[in-house]
Structure 1
Amino acid sequence: MSTNATTSASPAAPAAGTRPAGLSHRLGLWFAHAYVLGMCATIGGAYVFQFGLWEYPCPMCLLQRMFMLLSALGPAMIIARSRKGAVTTGEFASGWGIAIVSALVGGTVSGAQVLMHIAPGDPGYAGALFGLHLYTWAAITFFLAALAAGVTLVLADRAAPLDAAAGSPALRRAAALTLAVLALFAVSNFVACFFLQGFHWQMPGDPTGYRFFTDLF
């Protein structure tokens, strides 16, 4: 009888595979938000050149934007999963793995474009920011993104957002906003690509306008 009383008085054991989330887990999920928004901000900077300075992106530039969106998709999957409940360490690691692979491939594309214009006297493609062209900034961004995602992956056991972090009201509100921002940039990038290419199978290597409108009018 005493044994039963002791058993009933003891706290319930946590479910298998879960544990209370501490500060490190909440920070891990907040960092996923920062990563997604950082990638979107980078694309937003490219939009300033495209729509503010009328510098049309080349196909390689657009490809780099797509890999930025793909890299942001990994952490976005973690954020979306956290809205439904617990996120396992495996799901957390898979999301950041997608971020790393996409950043490495995107960095290869931007690195190839850097090498294309590395010859002395080559003015490079389009404008520059602080003396560096956008594809150079993209290469730097991909490198830093892969590094940050790799460190987060190493710390997955400590940073994985589990029950308590996933249930945070602030994180739930932030999740809706972050996912909406990513969706906005994904759709806007698709629309921009369509207007640049129009109904043609290929986009010119040095576009001078939006072919959809030039063909229409």
Structure 2
Amino acid sequence: MNATTTATVTTPASAPRAGLSNRLGLWFAHAYVLGMCATIGGAYIFQFVLWEYPCPMCLLQRMFMLLSALGPAMIIARSRKGSVTAAEFASGWGIAIVSALIGSTVSGAQVLMHIVPPDPGYAGALFGLHLYTWAAITFLVAVLAAAVNLVLTHQAQPLDAARTSPALHRAAGLTLAVLALFVVSNLVACFLLQGFHWQMPGDPTSYQFFTDLF
């Protein structure tokens, strides 16, 4: 007599869906990226409205702000395609932390360069603090915020938040477009300040590209 066996078919557990904390985690990634862009936007006011030319160290700090924003931007971009894994979430915020830490050393070095009185500091000030001091504060706050996100990975991991929330899906394209705009505008500003020279003056007084052109 042939023995018959009954096969038991098991179905994989359904993937966890995003809750309120997961959606808030993704919204915070948007806030981080836009916050870094807004900080650079404030520096643009000093540059293009008040005609205070940024020095090479100032531009370097802007670049590290953009690099720091790139981490959560990667999380946002991934969320548009599907669920964000814990590894992808951690990698994004890890990039944000490393970039902000390096940026803080640049801004901290510039603070120390002008800390001894009667040094007036470089360029103008906002509420009594020069922009490189505000940059140092921004970087330290950014490190803290990114670290908190890593600690709360399980609660803040976006999962499928963008797929299940039309508002988050639409916001992703806008946030990434804003970041791209600031990346391109910063590159253009650097080129205009330096022109076709290998080095930019430590204390620029004009846009070298236009100076050479005219």
TM-score interval, smaller chain = over 0.9
Match of 2:13 in 1: 13
Q: Which residue identity is paired with 1:35?
A: Y
Match of 1:160 in 2: 157
> TM-score if structure 1 supplies the norm length?
0.93
In structure 1, distance between residues paired with 2:184 and 2:160: 32
Match of 1:45 in 2: 42
Per-residue CA shift, 1:93-117, capped at 9, x if unaligned? 0000000000000000000000000
- Tell whether the 8 Å contact from 2:47 to 2:54 is kept in structure 1 after alignment: yes
Residue 99 (1) aligns with residue 66 (2): no
- Tell whether the 8 Å contact from 1:110 to 1:138 is kept in structure 2 after alignment: yes
- Tell whether the 8 Å contact from 2:80 to 2:162 is kept in structure 1 after alignment: no
- Tell whether the 8 Å contact from 1:87 to 1:166 is kept in structure 2 after alignment: no
- Tell whether the 8 Å contact from 1:83 to 1:172 is kept in structure 2 after alignment: yes
Aligned CA RMSD, in angstroms, stands at 1.7
Deviation beyond 3 Å, 4+ runs, structure 1: 164-167
Match of 1:132 in 2: 129
Secondary structure class of the residue paired with 1:208: coil
- Tell whether the 8 Å contact from 2:162 to 2:169 is kept in structure 1 after alignment: no
Identical amino acids, percent of aligned pairs = 82
In structure 2, distance between residues paired with 1:199 and 1:135: 26
Unaligned 5+ runs, structure 1:
none
In structure 2, distance between residues paired with 1:49 and 1:152: 32
The offset of 1:163, in angstroms, is 2.1
* 1:27 aligned residue (15, 24, 29): 24
> TM-score if structure 2 supplies the norm length?
0.94
For this pair of structures, how many residues does the alignment match? 208
In structure 2, distance between residues paired with 1:126 and 1:42: 16
The offset of 1:12, in angstroms, is 6.8
